[in-house]
Amino acid sequence: MSRKRIPMEEEFADDSATLEWLKSQKESTKKVYKSLWRWFLEFTAMSGEQILADRKQDEEHRWEKKVLEFREWCLNHTCEYHEKPLGEGGIKTATGVIRGFFNYHYQDLKFRNSVSKRLSEKPKRIREDYKLAKETIARMSVQANLRDRYVLVVGKSLGLRAIDFINLKVGDFTCLDLDSEPPISMGKMHTVKESVSAFPLLDSDSVPIVKAHLKSIGITDPNRRMLQIKKGELTRILQDLAEKGKINVGNKHLRFHCLRKFLIDRLSAVMSESKWKQVVGKKISEDAYISEEQLREAYGRAMAETTFSNHNHRIMKVAQLETTIEVLSQKITEQTDEIAQLGGRLAERDVELSKLEQELREAKQETSHRFARIEKFLKIEEE
């Protein structure tokens, strides 16, 4: 549920320390600063004015400790204005925002060099990522509809980060010969986070899923995204599939990034570090790059550990049936709409017919009255 936006002057009307500091920021950063500062205010249960007053009396470096505690708190808590915990990158940025508040008011936070270095790094997750196995992915795949199976199986095959996976477009796949022997190279692709190139490949599990998904969406526009969802939904899809498949992840964290780790672990067992980094899009030296064909051969050796071949035929059939069902559902929807329109027209005709019948009855009554008057008049004439 979206929260109604409150003007900054109204939201911090009783907090001049926060308002003055935020107003001093550039327009391009003000919104981000305000959003991240709210997290710290909720953590401390204090206003900027109260924080500043307490800092001026602080001789025990309490606020330096508070900032460190805040970083750990953010990993597993939500804010009033956000439905999920702040990400690792967001926590790093928030730490800088907090220090900026104190610096602006000439109450700089002072950390030892070792601590300052920690603050410039992303905090380590308290919860470890769930370690996927191909048998687990196979169980999850059986529970999935076509869209979710695309997220799971193609995500496992490509090993891209969520932001790069969500940006994949129809044209990234329609330019490929999907009838060729897997693995199928997708060529050079730019990645967002590290601004380096990835050379992902489609394995034998993912090819039929891609074909089915392309047929299902039925759109040939090469610039149309394959998925019309937000990045955060990728993790929720995997978590829902794990729940449906009765997979117990314990206290581990299942997220879309686990698919990337799954692939990297298997690739690293059969190829050098520079090769698997080239596949998934991590920085390597220029002289370490090899041809796509060499990558394809190396990737093919890993497919025995990344694909669930015993389930391939079943997955293909399920994907085909899913496509057929979706096509039939679409036709049923269209026919239902057409029937509804015909029903509306019939209803209009019924109304028109009722009006005509009413007019006919009234005409009959009027005619009867006229005949009665004529007969009466003729009798009078005869007399």
147 pLDDT more than 70: yes
Q: Are residues 89 and 206 in the same domain?
A: no
Cis peptide before 182 (omega within 30 of 0): no
Task: Give the per-residue pLDDT at 81.
Answer: 55
Q: Are residues 53 and 182 in the same domain?
A: no
Task: Give the per-residue pLDDT at 331.
Answer: 82
282-304 per-position pLDDT tens digit: 999 988 899 999 999 999 999 99
DSSP, collapsed to helix, strand or coil, labels residue 206 as helix
Q: The domain that contains 225 carries what CATH number?
A: 1.10.443.10
Task: Give the per-residue pLDDT at 6.
Answer: 76
CA proximity to 38, closest of 61, 18, 20? 18
Q: Is residue 354 part of a domain?
A: no
Q: Is residue 41 part of a domain?
A: yes
Q: Please, what is the average pLDDT of the chain? A: 86
Which of 64, 84, 119 terminates a domain? The answer is 119
Lowest mean pLDDT among 17-21, 258-262, 353-357: 353-357
Beta strands in the chain (DSSP E): 184-185, 189-190, 197-198, 201-202
Q: Are residues 104 and 171 in the same domain?
A: no
Q: Is residue 383 part of a domain?
A: no
80 pLDDT more than 60: no
Q: Are residues 311 and 208 in the same domain?
A: yes
Which of 61, 89, 119 terminates a domain? The answer is 119
Sequence letter at residue 10: E
CA proximity to 261, closest of 184, 162, 195? 162
Q: How many domains does the chain have?
A: 2
List, as one string, the DSSP characters of 66-87: HHHHHHHHHTT---TT-SSPPP
Q: Are residues 84 and 144 in the same domain?
A: no
Which of 119, 143, 162 terminates a domain? The answer is 119
Q: Are residues 106 and 242 in the same domain?
A: no
Average pLDDT estimate for 109-136: 75
115 pLDDT more than 70: no
Task: Give the per-residue pLDDT at 2.
Answer: 44
Average pLDDT estimate for 34-38: 89
CA proximity to 209, closest of 279, 157, 259, 168? 157
315 pLDDT more than 60: no
Q: Are residues 214 and 273 in the same domain?
A: yes
Task: Give the per-residue pLDDT at 1.
Answer: 40
Domain range holding 114? 8-119
Record the pTM: 0.58
